[in-house]
Each structure stands twice: as structure tokens, then as C-alpha cells.
Amino acid sequence: MGKIAFVFPGQGSQSVGMGQVAFNENEKSKEIFKIADNRLGRELSSIIFNGPQDLLTKTVNAQPALLTTSIALLEYLKEEGITPDYTAGHSLGEYSALVASGAIDFSDAVYAVSKRGEFMEEAVPNGEGTMAAVLGLDQGSLKEITDAVTIDGNSVQLANLNCPGQIIISGTVAGVEKAGEQAKEKGAKRVLPLNVSGPFHSELMKPAAEKFTSILNEINIKDADIPVITNVTASPINKNQDIKEKLIEQLYSPVLWEDSVQKMIELGVDTFIEIGPGKVLSGLIKKINKNVQIYSVQDPESCVATLIALRGEGE
């Protein structure tokens, strides 16, 4: 068998009730939810398990909730002695990857992402920024469009380069709408507005990045035990100073997810384990490379199935 990568989902994968079974069945997983509640000084676990969905979806809740659920599920794999050769996460998921790699303690990470969500919500007044998924147009053509629209006075840029034929753009409402219209004219199959509270991974997030620097200076970031493939460069890092710099840049830079997956495959990864709610990353990885093994750990049952498959016990 080749190398294993643990990958962690980002905002958008949250759902009410996620992690409930892990909380009920595993003491270490239960402890993760308790640590989150204590560090944040509020009942985050109650929002995760009971909702309502619109409260859970708020950036300031969704970010720590997804991190907490992902790390609670990670505890299962750790108990079974399954360790990765690399970790990576999509946007917010990079914090889960850093916890899994030993660079940030969970308690510090959940505090940091809660503040990150707060600053991201504050950076652009509600209703002024947005994001949209552009399907079926190549990166070069779409960048030409976003660059031209931005010169025209409406800020918009490539935000998530997810997989072949799926790119997210981000910016002002007018900029995203104009770029979306031009993308359709250039041959995009569909342009889908996203239900988000702001223009994430765009230059409009620079005020959030400035504020967030002080939070990262407060917490202890260590050298990672396991290399993390960072969103900003799609390359492995493990030095604490590099990690801090990339987390700040990540707020206003594109998420190079397709390149990150390709880099892990180049480095010998043939097995990806998505840890957290939903199967968004599993779907993207399949579109990037059909030949790799992909497993999704969303609950204890799927964790057991993954362990059996990895050990070849099902043969």
C-alpha cells in the first residue's frame, strides 16, 4: 500500500446532529466537544446536536462546529493506530489538518477558528459580498474574466480551485454577478450562487487577516509532526512560522485544492480518508483522480468500515 492522507472538510459540510453518535459512543470524542464548550464559553455542542440549522450555519458557529466534529471523529482512527503520511483540509479544514498533524492543540484551534469566523463576518457588511460556483469553464478563461471585471471597479477573484470544471469565484455582489454572466457567455455550463455570508478567499478579507494575526500570535503553533499540504501553495509545510504565515494568507488567497490533491498523489499518496461530516472532498478527489482509494469517516460505523478496508479484513 502507498501513503495515506487525512483530509478534512470546510464550511458548507455542517449539518444538525453531526458528531452525535461519536459523542455518545466514545469517551475521547465526548471530551473534544466538552473542551470546545469550555474554551468558547458557550454551548457549541448544543447548537451542533440540536440546531437550528440557520444558527449552526452562521460562520462564527459553523467553523468551530466543523473543526470539533472532525477532531472528535479523528479520535476513533487515532485509537486504532491509523496515522497519515500527510494531512490537508479545505479552507477551514486546514485547522483540523493542523490539529491532526500536531501543530496546534485542539483547544487553541477551536478558539482561533471561532475568532476567524467572527472577523470574516465583520470584514464585509452583510449583503455586500458573495461567492458563486462556475462549472465547466477552464481556469485561464475564468481568470481573464475576473481580472477584467475587477479592473472595471467590481472586485472579484478565483477563490476555490476545487477540481476540473469546478471553480468558485468570490467578491462584491456586483462583481460576482457580472463575472458569472460573462462566464456563461464564454461557455460555462452553469453558475450557481452560494449561500454564504461573505466573499471568502478574496482580497476583501484582508481586514479579517489583519485582525486574525493577533489571534495567531496568542496561541502556540508548533512545528508539525506530519507535513500539512497548505491551501495557499499546495505544498507540504511543517515549520511553525510557515504555518502561521500561510494561515493569514489563506483568508484572502485562493484554495488550491485540485493542486493539493495532485501534489499528495505525486508524493506517493494512494489512499485518502475524509474525516468529518459529508462527502464533499471525496467527490472532488474522485473528479481529480479516479485511481486513488477514498474513504469517508462521518460516524463510528463508517470508521469501522474504513479500518476493515485498510487492513484488508474484508477480502
Instruction: Compute the distance between CA of residue 167 and CA of residue 7 in angstroms, rounded to an integer.
Output: 19
- Residue 304's pLDDT is 85
Our CA dihedral for 11, 17, 22, 25, rounded to 10 degrees, sits at: 170
| Average pLDDT score, the chain | 94
* Cα–Cα nearest to 135, from 171, 174, 161, 98: 161
Name the pLDDT band for 58 (thresholds 50, 70, 90): confident
Query: Poorest-confidence range of 60-69, 207-216, 292-301?
Result: 292-301
Give the confidence band of 315 by pLDDT, cuts at 50, 70, 90.
very low
Instruction: Give Cα separations from 201 to 84, 143, 164 (angstroms).
Output: 27, 15, 19
Of 48-57, 61-70, 204-213, 302-311, the least confident: 302-311
Predicted pLDDT of residue 145: 97
Mean pLDDT, residues 272-298 taken together: 96
pLDDT above 60 (res 314): no
Summarize pLDDT for 9-27 with one digit per residue, the tens: 999 889 999 999 999 998 9
Kindly tell me the burial class for residue 214, based on how many C-beta atoms sit within 10 Å of its own C-beta (0-12, 13-18, 19 or more): exposed
Higher-pLDDT residue of 314 and 313 is 313
pLDDT band at 158 (very low <50, low <70, confident <90, very high): very high
Domains defined for the chain, CATH in brackets: 3-123+204-311 (3.40.366.10), 129-196 (3.30.70.250)
What residues act catalytically?
91, 201
What average pLDDT does this structure show over 282-297?
Answer: 96
pLDDT digits (tens, 9 = 90+) for 78-101: 888 889 999 999 999 999 999 999
| pLDDT of 33 over the 50 cut | yes
Alpha-carbon distances, residue 37 vs 44, 54, 67, 68, 104 (angstroms): 6, 19, 13, 10, 18
What amino acid is encoded at 56 in this protein? Answer: L
Longest dimension (CA), the chain: 60
pTM here is 0.95
Burial of 235 (0-12, 13-18, 19+ CB in 10 A): middle
The CA distances from residue 181 to 14, 237, 288, in Å, are 29, 38, 26
* Per-residue pLDDT, 263: 98
* Of 2 and 45, the one with more pLDDT: 45
Question: 313 vs 33, which has greater pLDDT?
Answer: 33
Confidence of residue 251 (pLDDT cuts 50, 70, 90): very high
Per residue in 162-196, pLDDT tens? Answer: 999 999 999 999 999 999 999 999 999 999 998 78
Question: Worst-scoring range by mean pLDDT, 53-57, 207-211, 258-262, 308-312?
Answer: 308-312
